[in-house]
Structure 1
Amino acid sequence: MKTNELKKQLKGALRANDHYSQIDFLEELTERKPENLKFKYELARAYDESRNYQRALEEYSKVFYANSEKYAMAIYHMGRIMKMREQYKLATLYFNQFIDKHNHSKESKHYKKLVKAELEGCKMGMEKSMNAPKTEIFPLKGNVNRSNIEFSPHIVDYRTLWYVSLPSDEIVFLESDSMPRRRIYVAHEKEGNWVVDNMLDHPSNDGKEHIGSFTLSQDGQRMYFTLCKPNMQNKMICKIYLSRWENKEWSEPEILPEEIHQSKHTYTHPTVGLSSKPDREIIYFVSDKQGGKGGYDIWYTRYRISKHRFDKARNAGKKINTIGDEIAPSFDFESNKLYFSSNGRPGIGGFDLFEAIGERTKWMYPAKNAGKEINSSYDDLYYKPFPKNRRRAIMVSNREGSIALKHPHCCDDLFEVNWKQMLDIEYNLDFKDLASNKALKNVDIVVTARDSPEGDRIVLQRIRTDSMGRVNFKLEPGIDYKLIVESDMHFNRKLDYSTVGVKESKTTTETIKLKPIPNEEIIIPNIYYPFDKSYLTPEAMIAIDTSIYEILVENPTLIVELSSHTDSKGSEKYNQHLSQQRAQSVMNYLAKKGIKRKRMKARGYGESKPIAPNANPDGSDNPKGRAKNRRTTFRVIGELDMEVFYED
């Protein structure tokens, strides 16, 4: 083949991200033109992308020492590879050399941020732990792992696993129509071994496109998955599709709308997360679309289930995304954690797993490294805890122990994680009616926490009591939580639980009693007015702040009537007018404090509703009775048709 034809073939392989074909073409080109450093650098990159790190290191080294000024990027990648080999001191040396060589380029600011994260990761890698290992990690036992790749696991139950695989023990060129395709497979655990049964019966498994990855909704009724194929420029492009479980079978795939996809960009790695709003689920995904923080970012769209409508795609924000790449998100419904992998944050090598608590752009803290307990110096992806058993998980990695196709660490396999030590903070709460002591079913508990001591309160999850009024949940350590309890015909309550400083696993069992909302009026004590006046005294304001105001804040759907009453001194008409003004004063004060006027109705009853005699039986004045009649009250007259504690 002529050199020009080789170059043409190389361009096609570069567009298709076909690293093995790139290697074949570049090895021939470098042999023909050994003085061409550009070909050698591209060969090093192809080896690197195919995870043949030894050969990549050799080629990077040749290029860098031949022209260190022009190919300063080579020593940056040499640092990355040394870091994966856990040679952190040498990696640190290479990264610092890179900064010296690359300091004046247009991209120096960009790479300084990456190198800062890499250097912090080297420090992490060199830290020695004196404690016993908390986890045991090993390749999944059985015949699930093959010589090619396995990824995107979904744990159906503790003995059933769905995952994506390329079932070949040979190198597969993705643009070839005759080669196997990535498909979804089903495996079952039998006597400690995971045994592949068959391909999943799903329409996506029947087409010509590769399955990129997939995820299921919490109720298992919707599957989101990616189908990938080359575009006109031979670049592999993935799009996200939806399939529904209807009439005991999966429906034909429908592509997500244009609000999600942009042309020329890829969309992959979907995962479904909890939404704090009812009738919604959040689909997180990975894309290189415009408007991101770096290369590949995590984005999200919110699906309105009953309306079958997707919101516009938005970036998950800087607490998740970096100038590097963020990939393979996975949401754990029980802990409300988003796990994902990043090479733009401090890690111990390759893609490290990170975790964040929250949703959309509202996260408790910048994503935290998941730790050496589960991360290796190579690529670690798709962390999936087992349902109802977080001490066991499945993840994807090319670490030691993965099956080699052509060279070590080339291919991702499924690994099992067993936690020997884990901090479990569990709560068992029983909810009962204060008056009758009966169990309260369908009580909603909104779990919230602040993203900083003075920051916004973030809704983390919403849980509901069962038919016995019980709820069980776990909280993460190191967080001050506030639980907002909502129940029909009961006053809301706020419960404070702190896990700050908790060092050992514990289970808390508690009975919570909710006060029923009465039909009759409730007296607001200690509200006094100057004689013949309607304005509030400072003492009256304090009484309002510590009574009705707190109730309205904690129960943001209640509509109340604010009532004022007088004794019988003065004319009936005058007392009616004065009481109306006084009720209006209370409403105006509450409105100034942020209570919406549509939730309040001011009404003066004058002397028409006494609760005690204004006069004694002999006709003499009854000061104690008149004092009881001069009162301000409220009663619940309705509820707003709205949801609370949720933001668009």
Structure 2
Amino acid sequence: MKHSYLFILLFAVILGACTSLDKKGTAQYQAGEYQLAINTFSRILEKDPDNLEANRIVAESYRLSNRVERAVPYYEKLVELDSTAENYYKKGIGLKSQGEYDRAKEAFSKAAEMTLNDSLELRSKRELANLEKLDNIQPYFPNHQLENYELLNSRGIDYAPIVSENFLYFTSSRGGGGIYQATGQSYTKLFRTRADGVNVDVQGIQPMPEFRNEEGLNQGAIAISPDGNTIVYARGNSTNRRDQPEVSLYASYFRGASFTEPVYMTLNEEPGYWNSTPAFSPDGKTLYFASNRPGGYGGIDLYKATVLANGDFGNVQNMGPEINTPGNEMFPRLETNGNFFFASDGHPGYGKLDLFVAEPNNNGYTVKNLGDNINTTADDFGIFFTNYPKEGFITSNREGGVGDDDIYYFKDMTPKPKVVNFLLNLITKEQKDDGSQEILPQTRVTMYDENNKLVGGDNTNQQGRVRFRLSPEQDYSIIASKSGYFTKSITFTTKGKMPDQSELIQDVTNITLDTTVVLDQLILEKAIVLENIYYDFDRAEIRPDAAQELNKLVKILKDNPNIRIELSSHTDSRGSEQYNEELSQRRAESAVEYIISQGIARERLVARGYGESQPIAPNENPDGSDNPEGRQMNRRTEFKVIELLED
């Protein structure tokens, strides 16, 4: 009987202690003291692991203090004890933040199936759709590399760096100042130190001097106007009940020789709205910020306000559904090219907050995840470029950091392309009557690019050589000229000749190319046969194959605009002399008309038909038999220069 009494008494003591802890923890939770609530209800769970309310408050406390990844075991217990769609949804959010994508899909699917709430169903299906898109995300800055700024970060919270007038400003929990009971960390303050780009003076960190950091509240997420005269920052979570109940934006203005004491901004609207993460546009005329005010698209949305004539901010507008989602969007950053960077957990991402860019287009924006070389399953946010887009800072609480939120710097590590020089060795030669070629020295060679711009010119040396430096992937025209010779132009290209960068070993590679230009002597009245000019029997029309050969003569005439030529047509001895003469005249005139149609002036051309009167080979053999080879040679088209025109 005595032992029974003692057991009953002990049970009553334990029950009373649990009841007392429950009341205490509930009060802490309702006051937003989430870390204290976690500590209190964890003591209850040690004795009663299946306590529904204790699991719920611990899970929610982790979620509401932005540690949802640590809430997963408690949501798993909740769906075991109380299988609601809401619990499955929150479990899915926690699993997503851990990178457990397949398990997260199962949880979101379960939530979508179970719920009768249209909003929760849509949110669950959106999360499922976002997870399906992860494999399609490509790095936006593929060669950017992140590095933890270990010497800058503390063991606590460091986040949201910006650079203004060669100073780095950032938020940090270093230096004490009381404990923020929602997270168990010290309250945050604003600090600054000198910086040159991403190179920071880590020894000179001090509380920002423009105005005094206040005790017993969080100060952070600072923005400074481009002219340096306006500071906007977030301030809240005060322990003073007479203070504003939520995080709000405050502004300080440079007046005379110093900054004013920060003042509450009217764009906060209602005191109960959460407003934070401000950023100025590059021209200083617009202030972007995040808010949970009603009328948005869910969670925290991004807004913009314009600077009014009195220096205040107004005309607040929501950034719209292309940027804002049912999730949370914050930490905006507009660049001069119109690209709008921000952090979100509502667009397709890897876990918690990811960094995104909204590229402007004709219909609004195209939103892209920056990719897995920037983002992780943890919170990644607060991007600031010190040299867009090559270097800057972000904030992340990813694994492997120095403290909680850490500042990281990034640089574009794109390998410098290896240099390829194209060198053209050109040789000039002359064509001899016997078909051989000889070096032609002291020939003028000029080179033009594909825009007909002169890019080089020189005379060949005694060996007929000259060298030019060419650019990759370019077309060129080369003109060679020498007194007493036909000027000649050729084309040359480096397109398709560039080697693959991965195959190059040295930083500078010289590729030598060769070409030859052969010139013909220009002798007045010397006949030059045009090969392969054929006509149909008893016809004078230019056939396509003949046109191709005549085009070569057209090119000679264009290269040599100071010559006047006679184009002559000849026949063999078949047919009467009069017939052959008339036929050859028609053929010569037909050839001349074709050449004129290609842009050559009529006065530079003379058409002559010689018939059979100027054979260059016998039409018959000595025995009187037919000589087919000789007749073929006599059926020819020739041209000769008959005059050199004045320039």
Report if TM-score (shorter chain) is over 0.5. yes
Aligned residue for 1:195, secondary structure, equals coil
Distance in structure 2 (CA, Å) of the matches to 1:36 and 1:220: 54
User: 1:10 aligns to what?
Assistant: 25
The CA deviation at 1:400 is 2.4
From 105, 129, 134, the counterpart of 1:120? 129
Q: How does 1:4-43 map to 2 (within 5 A)?
A: 5-31=20-46, 34-43=49-58
User: 1:412 aligns to what?
Assistant: 405
User: 1:642 aligns to what?
Assistant: none
Aligned residue for 1:374, secondary structure, equals coil
Question: Are the aligned partners of 2:65 and 2:182 in contact in 1 as well (CA < 8 Å)?
Answer: no
**Mapped pair 1:152 → 2:155:** no
Alpha-carbon distance change, 345 to 95 in structure 1, aligned in 2, over 3 angstroms: same
Distance in structure 1 (CA, Å) of the matches to 2:57 and 2:244: 18
Distance in structure 1 (CA, Å) of the matches to 2:278 and 2:322: 19
The CA deviation at 1:10 is 3.1
RMSD over aligned CA atoms reads 3.7
User: 1:86 aligns to what?
Assistant: 99
Distance in structure 2 (CA, Å) of the matches to 1:113 and 1:399: 29
The CA deviation at 1:382 is 0.7
**Mapped pair 1:401 → 2:410:** no
User: 2:355 aligns to what?
Assistant: 353
Q: How does 1:322-333 map to 2 (within 5 A)?
A: 322-332=325-335
Residue identity over aligned pairs, in percent, reads 22
The CA deviation at 1:232 is 4.6
**Mapped pair 1:292 → 2:300:** no
Distance in structure 2 (CA, Å) of the matches to 1:20 and 1:120: 33
- Larger Rg belongs to: 2
From 256, 261, 271, the counterpart of 2:279? 271
Alpha-carbon distance change, 199 to 73 in structure 1, aligned in 2, over 3 angstroms: same
Distance in structure 2 (CA, Å) of the matches to 1:292 and 1:422: 44
Alpha-carbon distance change, 131 to 297 in structure 1, aligned in 2, over 3 angstroms: closer
Identify unmatched segments of 5+ residues in structure 1: 405-410, 424-648
Alpha-carbon distance change, 129 to 267 in structure 1, aligned in 2, over 3 angstroms: closer
The CA deviation at 1:189 is 5.2
Distance in structure 2 (CA, Å) of the matches to 1:132 and 1:367: 14
Greater mean deviation of Cα atoms: 316-325 or 362-371: 362-371
Question: Are the aligned partners of 2:141 and 2:370 in contact in 1 as well (CA < 8 Å)?
Answer: no
Q: Deviations over 1:602-629 (max 9, x none)?
A: xxxxxxxxxxxxxxxxxxxxxxxxxxxx
The CA deviation at 1:331 is 2.8
The CA deviation at 1:396 is 0.7
Question: Are the aligned partners of 2:60 and 2:71 in contact in 1 as well (CA < 8 Å)?
Answer: yes
Name the count of aligned residue pairs. Answer: 400
Question: Are the aligned partners of 1:88 and 1:125 in contact in 2 as well (CA < 8 Å)?
Answer: no
Alpha-carbon distance change, 117 to 421 in structure 1, aligned in 2, over 3 angstroms: farther
The CA deviation at 1:8 is 4.5
Instruction: Give 2:254's aligned amino acid.
Output: W
Alpha-carbon distance change, 94 to 170 in structure 1, aligned in 2, over 3 angstroms: farther
User: 2:285 aligns to what?
Assistant: 281
Question: Are the aligned partners of 1:148 and 1:168 in contact in 2 as well (CA < 8 Å)?
Answer: no
User: 1:226 aligns to what?
Assistant: 234
Aligned residue for 2:121, secondary structure, equals helix
Question: Are the aligned partners of 1:240 and 1:255 in contact in 2 as well (CA < 8 Å)?
Answer: yes
Alpha-carbon distance change, 52 to 227 in structure 1, aligned in 2, over 3 angstroms: closer
Aligned residue for 1:203, secondary structure, equals coil
Distance in structure 1 (CA, Å) of the matches to 2:148 and 2:173: 17
Distance in structure 2 (CA, Å) of the matches to 1:235 and 1:65: 40
Distance in structure 1 (CA, Å) of the matches to 2:339 and 2:276: 20
Question: Are the aligned partners of 1:15 and 1:234 in contact in 2 as well (CA < 8 Å)?
Answer: no
Q: Deviations over 1:27-69 (max 9, x none)?
A: 134346554312212212223445656652222212212232x
From 80, 90, 98, the counterpart of 1:65? 80
From 314, 318, 323, the counterpart of 1:320? 323
User: 1:371 aligns to what?
Assistant: 371
Alpha-carbon distance change, 290 to 64 in structure 1, aligned in 2, over 3 angstroms: same
Alpha-carbon distance change, 194 to 53 in structure 1, aligned in 2, over 3 angstroms: farther
Question: Are the aligned partners of 2:111 and 2:121 in contact in 1 as well (CA < 8 Å)?
Answer: no
The CA deviation at 1:384 is 0.7
The CA deviation at 1:303 is 1.0
Aligned residue for 1:38, secondary structure, equals helix
Distance in structure 2 (CA, Å) of the matches to 1:350 and 1:3: 34
Distance in structure 1 (CA, Å) of the matches to 2:46 and 2:391: 50
From 115, 134, 137, the counterpart of 2:146? 137
Instruction: Give 1:213's aligned amino acid.
Output: A
Instruction: Give 2:369's aligned amino acid.
Output: N
Distance in structure 2 (CA, Å) of the matches to 1:244 and 1:130: 39
Distance in structure 1 (CA, Å) of the matches to 2:46 and 2:243: 26
Aligned residue for 1:242, secondary structure, equals strand
TM-score where L is the length of structure 1 = 0.55
User: 1:165 aligns to what?
Assistant: 172
From 111, 120, 127, the counterpart of 1:111? 120
Distance in structure 2 (CA, Å) of the matches to 1:297 and 1:250: 30
Instruction: Give 2:71's aligned amino acid.
Output: A
Aligned residue for 1:237, secondary structure, equals coil
Instruction: Give 2:218's aligned amino acid.
Output: H
Alpha-carbon distance change, 63 to 170 in structure 1, aligned in 2, over 3 angstroms: farther
Distance in structure 2 (CA, Å) of the matches to 1:295 and 1:255: 23
The CA deviation at 1:79 is 2.5
The CA deviation at 1:139 is 0.9
User: 1:216 aligns to what?
Assistant: 224
Distance in structure 1 (CA, Å) of the matches to 2:138 and 2:317: 39
Distance in structure 1 (CA, Å) of the matches to 2:140 and 2:182: 48
The CA deviation at 1:179 is 8.9
Instruction: Give 1:74's aligned amino acid.
Output: N
Identify unmatched segments of 5+ residues in structure 2: 1-15, 417-647
Q: How does 1:250-265 map to 2 (within 5 A)?
A: 250-257=259-266, 260-265=268-273
